[in-house]
Every structure is written in structure tokens, then in C-alpha cells.
């Protein structure tokens, strides 16, 4: 039994909660404002309704720090971007949501405490602390991954799915058990999004709207889908490793650009003609990486006997990954795959507000500002999930 109404709304007469969410753990700065109606059925008599809060999204604004092709984003520059934009975004979000008096109307301010890049996280945390003190609104520090999971559950209404969390900084297969989102399998080195980003950098393709999206487009243009470029397949039990794959495909791309005819994977031995295009490389990379992701997800499903999968994180908006996951789920248990669209897959402030508001409603918010120090490493299973059975 979980009572989501342990804390009453700021103005009991209004019968709803309002939360501001601030996200800035990587190159995206997001500000979101959400509303949870005060529902009697989520109160003491309720079972587990944390996936169905009837959330209303009043504002969801994002600004991405985009770097030129071939370049990644550095912590310092990203932090500067967030500092420059954070206040402006909050102002716009408040305006869009029709919040005129933040002090009187907001129940809670939620911000990303980690994991992510230290300097950008810190910039946003400063703003969150300042707003909290000047408006006298409580703060909640949110785990970024839990934010993705809770937003995904709320949007898709998936009650207890196995979660595949795939983004630039994370690759994890997660299942809920006993008040924790437990990590079943994860990457042992680079994250899948990072792997795609870095390959995009080698290919010198644009970073806008996102490197992964551009790789997906190139992959779909592949003309020779029957033949794959053979890449290492590195599933290690429940975990996977991607650094070897990245190093290898990077070297192929470089040989291709250089016209290194000695490489017989790329060039015909006799004629010297190219056998493989950039599109082929993108296609093969996707097929290989995603097969690995789906496989470890299936392992977790078999283990916990689940029939639903929820894909969250930036890479989750990839249509091919969603298609593969759907096939697996169908064949496995006539199960379903849930994926959110790019508004929610990609880092945003709404998801931080959603997870933070759930936590707040359970009475768990910052009592001392020393609890708001950001942390680059913050494991998903460190969070005590009080809002679920």
C-alpha cells in the first residue's frame, strides 16, 4: 500500500500539486512544469498508482548545446551554456504554464542531482537552490535515470516493465524489486549513445538535431542490408561492452576515408573497388549494438517473468531499436514494448519534475541544503523508491 497523498497540496483548496523540474546533466537544458491532481484514489487506500498520476504537462522547454560536426561537448562550455540559459528558460516556462506567483503556487522544485557531468549539474543546482530559498519552496534532488523511468511509466502507463535505459551516458537494463530500481545488466565501458556520438564525430556528420538521429538516417539509406559488416558481438552475461566495437568501426571508417586499399573488409582485393559505404557502416553498427541491447533485455524479462519493456533515454527514440524490441516482446510473451516519443525520450525537465514530485508527495524532500550537492556518479539502485509497492 502506497499513500501518495502524505503531503497535502500547498493550497489545499486548489486540490493539485505543481512541480518545477530542472534538468542539466548533459548538453540539454530542460525546464518543465507539471501538475498532479489530488486524487483520493492515490491516497491511503490505493495500491500502486505511481504510474498513473494523471500528470498534466504545463510547460516543457528545452535548449540543447550543439557543437560543430566532429566535436563533442565539454563540461566547462556546457556549464556556461546552462548558466546563460537557465533563468530565461524558467521565466518562459512559468509564463507558458501560467504560473504568476511561483512562491504561492509551486509545491516543489525538482532538479537533477546526478549522474552526469559535474559542472553543468552544478550550474543548474545553483539556480534550483536560489529559487527554493527566495520562493520558500521545498527542493527535491532527483536521480536522472529514475526521472526517465518515472516519466516513461506515467506516459505509457506501463505498471511494472523491464526498463532499458539507453542514452549518451548510460546503458542499463533495470527491473523494479523491493523499493529499488535494480540494475540487471549494464555497459562495462562506454554507453551506447556515447558510442554512436563518437562514431558520428569520426564520420564528421552534424551534431544537430542529434548525432544518433543522423546515424539512424544514414543507416536507413543503406542499400545492401543483406550483408552486414561483421563486428564484435560482446554480450558478457547480463552486461555488455562496446568500446571494442567502437574502436574497430572507427578504424574502418578512417580506412574508408583514407582509401586504404589494404583493408579487404572495405575494398575488393582484385579490383580495389569499395565494397562498403558509410551507410553500410551505420547500418551494421546499429544492427549489432541493438541486437546486444535486446538480448540482455530479454534475459532480464525471462528472469523476472515480465512481459513489458519500457525504453527510455535519448537512444530510445530510435525507430529500429523500437522495432527490434517489439519483435522480441511479441515472440517472447506476446508482450508489449513501450517507448515514449522524442519529447520525453530526450532529457527534459518534465521527467525530473515527475520523479521529484512523486518523491515529494511521499514526504521525502531536502531538509538541509547540504543534501543538494550534485554528484557525477549516482547509481539508479541507490534511490529508495518509496512511491511504489
Partner 1 sequence: MTTKTARPAALDHTLTLNVPFETPRQALIASQVLQPDPILKPQDFAVSYAAQGPCLEARFCGRDARVLRVGVSSVIDSLKTIIESLDELDQTGPSSTEASM
Partner 2 sequence: MSEEITGQVRTYVTDNIPITLISQGAEAVVYTTPIHPYLPIDDSTKGEKYIIKYRPHKRYRHPSIDQALTKHRTVGEARLLSKLSQIEGLQVPKLIACDVYNGCLWLEFLGQDLPQGAGFSNLKNFLWMHAANDPYSNVVRETLLKVGHQIGLLHWNNYTHGDLTSSNIVLVRSQIVDGWEPHLIDFGLGSVSSMVEDKGVDLYVLERAIMSTHSEFADKYNAWIIEGFSNVYKLQGKAGQKKLDELLKRFAEVRMRGRKRTMIG
Nearer to partner 1, 231 or 366 (CB): 366
338 labelled ligand-binding: no
373 labelled ligand-binding: no
Contact between 349 and 378 (Cβ < 8 Å): no
User: Closest separation between CB of residue 103 and partner 1, Å?
Assistant: 5
Nearest residue to 292 via CA among 187, 366, 210: 187
Residue choice 188, 265, 319, 369 for contact with partner 1 (CB under 8 A): 369
The kind and range of the H/E element at 360 are: helix 349-361
- Cα–Cα dist 365/219, whole Å: 45
Under rule CB under 8 A, residue 302 binds partner 2: yes
| Residue 46 binding: pick among partner 1, partner 2, none (C-beta 5-8 Å cut-off by kind) | none
Which part of the chain contacts partner 2 (CB under 8 A), choosing from 60-68, 189-197, 324-332, 343-351? 324-332
Across the chain, which distance is largest between two alpha carbons, in Å? 81
C-alpha cell at 50: 505511481
Query: What is the residue whose three cell numbers read 518509496?
Result: 386
Residue choice 233, 341, 371, 384 for contact with partner 2 (CB under 8 A): 233
Under rule CB under 8 A, residue 237 binds partner 2: yes
C-alpha cell at 49: 498508482
- Cα–Cα dist 298/311, whole Å: 13
51 labelled ligand-binding: no
Residue choice 6, 52, 72, 122 for contact with partner 1 (CB under 8 A): 122
Planar angle of CA 358, 360, 362, nearest 5 degrees: 75
| Residue 148 binding: pick among partner 2, partner 1, none (C-beta 5-8 Å cut-off by kind) | none
Q: What number of CA atoms fall less than 13 Å from residue 223's CA on the CB side? A: 4
| Residue 294 binding: pick among partner 2, partner 1, none (C-beta 5-8 Å cut-off by kind) | partner 2
- Cα–Cα dist 33/31, whole Å: 7
- Cα–Cα dist 189/376, whole Å: 16
Residue choice 222, 325, 352, 355 for contact with partner 2 (CB under 8 A): 325
Under rule CB under 8 A, residue 182 binds partner 1: no
70: left (phi over 0), alpha (psi -120 to 50) or beta: left
How large is the C-alpha radius of gyration of the chain?
22
Under rule CB under 8 A, residue 332 binds partner 2: yes
Sequence-separated contacts (24+) of 365-368 with Cβ below 8 Å: 365/108, 365/138, 365/139, 365/140, 366/132, 366/138, 366/139, 366/140, 366/141
Under rule CB under 8 A, residue 221 binds partner 2: no
Nearer to partner 1, 129 or 275 (CB): 129
Under rule CB under 8 A, residue 83 binds partner 1: yes
Under rule CB under 8 A, residue 305 binds partner 2: yes
160 labelled ligand-binding: no
Binding mask 160-179 toward partner 2 (x if CB under 8 A, else -) reads ---------------x-x--
Nearest residue to 161 via CA among 341, 293, 309: 309
Contact between 59 and 67 (Cβ < 8 Å): no
Under rule CB under 8 A, residue 95 binds partner 2: no
384 labelled ligand-binding: no
Sign (positive or negative) of CA dihedral 89, 361, 386, 358: negative
| Residue 328 binding: pick among partner 2, partner 1, none (C-beta 5-8 Å cut-off by kind) | partner 2
Under rule CB under 8 A, residue 373 binds partner 1: yes
Binding site for partner 1 (CB under 8 A): 80, 83, 86-88, 90-91, 94, 99-104, 122-123, 126-127, 129-131, 133-136, 369-370, 372-373
Binding site for partner 2 (CB under 8 A): 175, 177, 182-184, 227-228, 230, 233, 237-238, 287-288, 291, 294-295, 298-299, 301-305, 324-325, 327-328, 330-334, 381
Give the annotated binding-site residues: 144, 148, 165-169, 197, 212, 216, 318, 347
Amino acid at each position: 500500500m502506497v499513500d501518495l497523498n502524505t503531503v497535502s497540496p500547498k493550497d489545499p483548496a486548489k486540490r493539485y500539486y505543481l512541480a518545477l523540474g530542472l534538468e542539466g546533466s548533459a548538453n540539454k537544458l530542460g525546464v518543465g512544469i507539471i501538475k498532479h491532481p489530488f486524487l483520493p484514489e492515490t491516497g491511503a487506500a490505493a495500491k500502486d498508482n505511481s504510474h498513473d498520476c494523471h500528470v498534466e504537462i504545463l510547460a516543457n522547454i528545452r535548449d540543447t548545446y550543439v557543437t560543430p560536426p566532429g566535436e563533442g561537448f565539454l563540461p566547462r562550455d556546457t556549464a556556461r551554456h546552462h548558466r546563460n540559459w537557465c533563468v530565461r528558460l524558467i521565466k518562459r516556462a512559468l509564463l507558458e504554464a501560467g504560473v504568476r506567483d511561483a512562491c504561492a503556487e509551486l509545491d516543489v522544485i525538482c532538479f537533477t542531482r546526478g549522474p552526469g557531468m559535474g559542472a553543468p549539474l552544478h550550474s543548474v543546482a545553483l539556480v534550483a537552490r536560489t529559487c527554493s530559498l527566495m520562493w520558500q519552496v521545498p527542493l527535491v534532488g532527483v536521480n536522472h535515470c529514475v526521472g526517465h523511468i518515472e516519466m516513461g511509466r506515467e506516459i505509457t502507463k506501463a505498471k511494472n516493465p523491464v526498463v532499458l535505459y539507453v542514452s549518451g551516458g548510460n546503458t542499463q537494463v533495470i527491473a523494479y524489486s523491493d523499493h529499488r530500481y535494480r540494475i540487471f545488466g549494464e555497459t562495462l565501458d562506454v554507453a551506447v549513445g556515447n558510442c554512436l556520438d563518437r562514431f558520428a564525430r569520426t564520420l564528421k556528420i552534424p551534431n544537430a538535431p542529434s548525432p544518433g538521429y543522423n546515424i539512424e538516417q544514414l543507416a536507413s539509406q543503406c542499400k545492401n542490408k543483406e550483408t552486414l559488416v561483421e563486428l564484435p558481438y560482446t554480450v558478457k552475461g547480463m552486461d555488455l561492452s562496446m568500446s571494442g566495437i567502437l574502436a574497430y568501426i572507427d578504424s574502418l571508417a578512417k580506412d574508408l576515408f583514407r582509401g586504404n586499399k589494404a583493408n579487404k573488409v572495405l575494398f575488393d582485393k582484385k579490383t580495389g573497388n569499395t565494397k562498403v559505404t558509410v551507410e553500410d557502416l551505420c547500418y551494421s553498427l546499429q544492427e549489432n549494438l541493438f541486437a546486444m541491447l535486446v538480448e540482455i533485455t530479454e534475459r532480464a524479462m525471462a528472469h523476472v517473468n515480465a512481459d513489458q519493456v519500457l525504453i527510455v533515454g535519448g537512444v530510445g527514440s530510435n525507430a529500429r531499436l523500437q522495432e527490434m524490441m517489439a519483435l522480441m516482446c511479441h515472440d517472447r510473451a506476446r508482450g508489449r514494448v513501450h517507448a515514449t516519443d522524442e519529447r520525453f525520450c530526450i532529457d527534459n525537465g518534465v521527467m525530473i519534475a515527475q520523479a521529484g514530485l512523486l518523491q515529494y508527495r511521499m514526504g521525502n524532500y531536502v531538509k538541509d541544503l547540504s543534501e543538494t550537492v550534485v554528484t557525477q556518479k549516482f547509481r539508479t539502485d541507490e534511490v529508495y523508491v518509496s512511491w511504489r509497492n
